[in-house]
Each structure stands twice: as C-alpha cells, then as structure tokens.
Structure 1
Amino acid sequence: MSHSITRRSRAIAVTVAALVSVPVLAGTANAVPADMYAPYARAAAMVHEPGTLLAAKNISEVTHPKVGTYCLKVSDPDIDDLQNAAILATANNGGASVTVRTAGYGVTGCPRGTDIISVTSVYSDNHQPVDVTFTVAVL
C-alpha cells in the first residue's frame, strides 16, 4: 500500500511542477516591458530583434512590419516635436547599423504620424536589412 502512495505522490508532484512551469514559460513571450531608466531622455526603448519591447520609457508599442524595419509609438502627448528632437539609436551588436526617421518621414510599413519613430537596420558590410536588438532615445 505504501508503494502505491509513493507512486501517486510522485505523479502529483510531477503534474504540479508541469502546471506551475507552463505560465512561467508562456508569460515571457507576452511580458510587459520593464520601465527603462533613462533620466535624461524624454522617451527611450530597448527593442529585441523580433520587435519585442524589452524596456521602455514613454514608448507604448513597437511593430515590426518587415526584416530590418521597426515602428515605435511615442506614448507621451507632450513629446510632439519629434522632427526637431535629437533621436539616437544604437544597434546592440557590432555587425549592423541603424537609421532613425520620424514623423512625415516614415519608411514603408510604418504609419506616418507625429508620434512615430521609424528605425531601420542593415548589415554594415553589405547594407542588406537585418533584424537587430537596439536601443533608441529621444532627447
């Protein structure tokens, strides 16, 4: 009898462990971005290659319409002068470069608007589009 209780206890423990791990693993894909510490930036974001917003300050969403193209929406209505703002973007790897466009200067796939930042990324050596992790800041 103790043998069946041990077997049953093991089965319950394995089942509980499996059920507990599913939300943890599934939650990482839809996780809310962390607050980005950027005290001197009006808006900032770290974006992962597939278009996932990892951390943000006054950036509400990112779309990724095609390889090497990202569209970031600025969520703070007080930031209404993107065309005249200093916007910096840096690829977080050494093999790519990024370019930033704003407002009426959107790129194909990104909506035009005064609250949109378009970021494109290419390989540094052959200028072909590439997905990269990058950081952007609106000063």
Structure 2
Amino acid sequence: MTLLSTTRSKIAAAAVLAAVTASVGTAVAFASQAGPARAPYAQAGALVEYNGALSQSKGIAPVQKPSAGTYCIKFTDARLDPQKLIPTAVLGASGTTPWDATIMVRTDPWAACGNATDTVTVFTGTSAGAQDLPFYIAIH
C-alpha cells in the first residue's frame, strides 16, 4: 500500500465517521423534550407545538397565537431584526400532520400579529385552510 492510498483511506474513514456522528446528532436534536434547546450555532430556535407552546427553545419569547394556524414569534435578543433575518421553518411530524400540510413565514409586519416590526409570523395549514400544526424554527 502506498502512502497516497493510505492517506485516502484515512480521509475516507474520517468522512464516514463524520457522517455517522452528524446523523446521530440530528436524531438527538429532533427529540421533543421540554426545556432549553442545545443549538450552539443558532441565534434563536424552537420547537413550537400546535397550540403555540414551546417544547424546546433558545432565544424565543413565549409565542402568541391569534388564530388557527397563525403564530407570532418574537426573539429575546432585541438585536435580531426580523426584516434582516432569513428564518428556516419546517413542520414537525406529529403523527397527525397531514401529507398536504404546508408552512409559510413572513418577516415583515403583518396584521395578524399587530403589525409588530419585531415579530416573525408563521402560518401553518393544509389545502383546506389554516390549521394548527407543530413546527421547528431556526435563525442561524
């Protein structure tokens, strides 16, 4: 075995180990537990339950829920300006989440959340209309 092929083998082994470690870490990150979220690289994030309760959170104030499928998200850090952020939101697989469910995010002021400039509005629903669904939101 040459030095070059030995080096390639070590690099390949390291890549496999990194992929396994990342997938194990991902599985742990999506486990629903009450309390603070462990998200060292996110500025803010949360698992928001269908009723607006926070199961895991970091940097998210208590969520306001003015109507079905509408969630008003504020951050505990006033330096986070929703209009300058790129939030990521995905639906949670609750076991009752419909296959045609969708999620949308607005970073500009919206009437449902009182036109507040410090709020991100999240909408969840299906083709039939607004519906309360659990979701994850992250600000990196």
TM-score in terms of structure 2 length: 0.66
* Aligned pairs, number: 102
RMSD: 1.6
In the alignment, which residue of structure 2 is the partner of 1:111?
Answer: 114
Task: Please name the residue that 2:83 is paired with.
Answer: 83
Runs of 5+ unmatched residues, structure 2: 1-33
Which letter maps to 2:114? P
Q: Do 2:85 and 2:107's aligned partners in 1 also have CA atoms closer than 8 Å?
A: no
Displacement after TM superposition at 1:115 (Å)? 2.0
Q: Distance in 2 between matches of 1:114 and 1:36?
A: 25
Q: Percent identity?
A: 32
- Shift of the alpha carbon at 1:127? 4.8
Query: Secondary structure, in 3 states, of the residue corresponding to 1:109?
Result: helix
Match of 1:102 in 2: 107
Counterparts of 2:117 and 2:42, CA distance in 1: 18
> Residue by residue, what CA displacement relative to the aligned partner does 1:45-85 show, whole Å, maximum 9, x if unpaired?
111111111111111110111111011111102213x2121
Q: Runs ≥4 in structure 1, deviation > 3 angstroms?
A: none
Unmatched segments (≥5 aa) in structure 1: 1-32
Question: Structure 2: how far apart are the matches of 1:64 and 1:56?
Answer: 16
Take 1:111 and 1:92, find their aligned partners in 2: how far apart are those partners?
26
Report if the CA contact (8 A) 2:46-2:137 is conserved: yes
Assess if the C-alpha contact under 8 Å between 1:75 and 1:115 holds in 2: no
Q: Deviations over 1:19-66 (max 9, x none)?
A: xxxxxxxxxxxxxx5111122211111111111111111111101111
Q: Which has the larger radius of gyration?
A: 1
